[in-house]
Amino acid sequence: MKNSFKKSLVVLSIALMGFTTVNCPGKKDDNTALLLAGLFLLNQPEYTVILTGTLRGADNLPMKDGKVTIADVAGGGFLTGGQGTISDFTTCVTAGAPPANGTADGEFTLLFKTPSLSGVLDFTPNDAASATNASSCSTITGLAASDFTNVTGPTGQLAVNLDLNDRSNTSQVSLSGNTGYSITVKSISVFVKGEYTLQSPTVGENVCDGGRLTGSPVIKSGSISSSETWSGGILLQGTVFVESGATITVTPGTAVFGQRGSSIFFKRGSKLVSNGTAADPICWSSASSLGSRFPGDWGGIVTIGDSGATRASNTEGTTPQGYGGTGSLPGTSNLEMSYTIIEFGGNEVAPGDELNNLSMYASNTTLNHVQAHRGLDDQFEAWGGTGAWSNILATGGLDDDLDLDEGFGGSTLGSGATITNFISHKYIAACGGSASTDPHGLEWDGIHSDGGVACNSPSAPLLARCTTVTLNKFTLIGAGIAGGTAGRIREGAQATLTNGVAYGHASGFRVDTATAVTAATATTVRGQSGQSTTGTLNTVTYDITSLPITSDGGINTESNCGFAATKPDYTLKSGFAATGFGGAADGKWWENWAVFRAR
């Protein structure tokens, strides 16, 4: 009992320190104040609220170029300390009718935490100075966050009255004092701190949840200019930069926690080595308390290498960094990962500008037994560079699971990069979070926005070498989210798909051929019965009529969202099993070390 209590204090101290932005001087090993604070807060209530609504203008039409912000009223203290202002940009549907899942122009999602059941928040709406509600989505999503300065109307008061007996009742919030705008509340979810009923946790879930830690985490912030070895518990505060020449080596069993809004950037010339083991995986997670972790809690990991891309540009994030253009190929290895979990990343910093769980820019990467879990934006995304990847798992993501762009793998003409044993698994909406308008299993772009480049001729310079990838042995499981496909391939990508299954997405594969000719082939690939390929992708057989894997762990069929004792088994059922077929063709490589709980 004493040991369990001690572990509870460790996890609580991480959450507490995650909201701490000022470190007062004191004795290096004196954690008395922190532990006393932990003792005080251990029994204090905290409620996490996820509010999804639509912002409407004076004409009652949804505002697709909007931004909403909530904050404590002066002297109010309704929000848990450290949250400050909380904002979200409204959605912009690119074409056609709103998707069936309710996503529409003007939709926003706000997640806030409070120690009280009732209170009042200031609600402020803005729109973009350089756009109108009639502007195209590409114009709106291309704007910087600083452009959303037009005052739509006076600050209103958002009254919150939580009812724990009816947690999804939309009348728990109401807006007053608003003129010139309104909101339509679409859904509310309320989660209570301490309600964390995870059954039979995996080794990875124990590591990610701080169950193996003792003592307080080591805080990392600002710039790191020399090589370091990390072990135990690490807490990231703000944007952490690893400078050129520095290597961060993370030891097996280490848990790295990112406070809200934090991220870590590995600049060109630096390196991350995060090699765990099946018995001691490494976890990069949210610093929020157990049961209150959600997609987008923190920014995730960003690596920048010297392996080039089909353009020179800047990364996403609040402090963009340059990447790409010409470079030596395959370039210097700057990311090595094995038995590593990255979860709850992808916070939005501008409309259409979200970080991901793992963002790789012009990087030369080696990934083996790596899981990206519950990312708000993409799970794995690469811009240029190359890599050798195997045994890759993407679970519960809210946008694309495997997004490759701007010449990834294009350094080896005629073959490109090969990814072996890939599994992606979407979670249903009841598990929390707001999915994007086009959440795909695969999204591969050869270049950026189709620049008319002739891809991969033997004499082509680096800037004309488009994404060239072979995906072998894969399983793509969807959750029927509107707008999502099993895979979208476009803008000159050279794609080879072999030995795979796709089931549960809103539609099958889509191949878009533009000026830079996209080339996609499929060999021994099966999709969901009744679906078809948009564009040309030869030899996909759409004949799967039921879930092809042994078990989804009840995540999508029973809405347990990964908390039950039964975990997913991605082994193909006997009717689909074949030698070398599917993401589990080489055995249950995810078993015991991966994570599945939704929050």
Predicted confidence (pLDDT) per residue in 364-412, tens digit: 999 999 999 999 999 999 999 999 999 999 999 999 999 999 999 985 5
Beta carbons of 61 and 182 less than 8 angstroms apart: no
Q: DSSP of 504-564, one letter per residue?
A: SSSEEEEE---SS--EEEEEEEEEETT---BS--EEEEEEE-S--EEE-TTTTTS--TT-S
The more confident residue out of 585 and 135 is 585
Beta carbons of 429 and 396 less than 8 angstroms apart: no
Residue 209 is given by DSSP the state T
Poorest-pLDDT segment among 25-34, 75-84, 168-177: 25-34
**pLDDT score of 94:** 55
**pLDDT score of 76:** 83
Poorest-pLDDT segment among 95-99, 218-222, 408-412: 95-99
Nearest-angstrom CA–CA distance, 594 and 396:
13
The pLDDT-based confidence of 2 (bands split at 50, 70, 90) is very low
User: What stretches of 267-352 adopt beta strand conformation (E)?
Assistant: 271-275, 282-286, 301-304, 312-314, 322-324, 333-343, 348-350
Nearest-angstrom CA–CA distance, 44 and 42:
6
**pLDDT score of 34:** 46
Sign of the alpha-carbon dihedral angle for 400, 405, 410, 415: positive
Say which residues have a Cβ less than 8 Å from residue 2's Cβ, sequence separation at least 6.
Answer: none
pLDDT at 312 over 50: yes
Say which residues have a Cβ less than 8 Å from residue 367's Cβ, sequence separation at least 6.
Answer: 335, 337, 338, 387, 388, 389, 390, 392
Beta carbons of 380 and 469 less than 8 angstroms apart: no
Nearest-angstrom CA–CA distance, 344 and 288:
10
Beta carbons of 503 and 476 less than 8 angstroms apart: yes
Closest CA to 186 of 25, 3, 24, 56: 56
Taking CA atoms, 587 is separated from 50, 107, 287, 582, 584, in Å, by 38, 42, 33, 10, 5
Nearest-angstrom CA–CA distance, 307 and 294:
33
Let me know the angle formed at the C-alpha of 301 by 299 and 302, rounded to the nearest 5 degrees. 105
Q: What is the pTM of this model?
A: 0.82
* Rounded percentage of the chain residues whose pLDDT exceeds 90: 56
Closest CA to 441 of 411, 497, 481, 402: 402
Residue type, 437: T
Length of the chain in residues, anyone? 599
| Model pLDDT for residues 500-522, shown as the tens digit of each residue | 999 999 999 999 876 567 788 88
What does the pLDDT average to over 441-451?
83
Query: Residue 412, by phi and psi: left (phi above 0), alpha (psi -120 to 50) or beta?
Result: beta
| Model pLDDT for residues 240-282, shown as the tens digit of each residue | 999 999 999 999 999 999 998 899 999 999 999 999 999 999 9
Nearest-angstrom CA–CA distance, 345 and 375:
5
Query: Residue 583, by phi and psi: left (phi above 0), alpha (psi -120 to 50) or beta?
Result: alpha
The pLDDT-based confidence of 197 (bands split at 50, 70, 90) is confident
Poorest-pLDDT segment among 13-17, 179-183, 276-280, 318-322: 13-17
Calculate Rg over the CA atoms of the chain.
23
> Hey, what are 281's tokens?
């995986």
Nearest-angstrom CA–CA distance, 433 and 376:
8
Nearest-angstrom CA–CA distance, 556 and 559:
6
Highest mean pLDDT: which range of 129-138, 338-347, 517-526, 538-547: 338-347
456-459: long-range pairs with CB below 8 Å, 24+: 456/410, 456/413, 456/414, 456/494, 458/413
Beta carbons of 549 and 568 less than 8 angstroms apart: yes
Closest CA to 477 of 400, 387, 548: 548
| Model pLDDT for residues 12-45, shown as the tens digit of each residue | 566 656 544 333 333 334 444 444 444 444 457 8
Nearest-angstrom CA–CA distance, 352 and 357:
15
Beta carbons of 176 and 95 less than 8 angstroms apart: no
pLDDT at 99 over 70: no
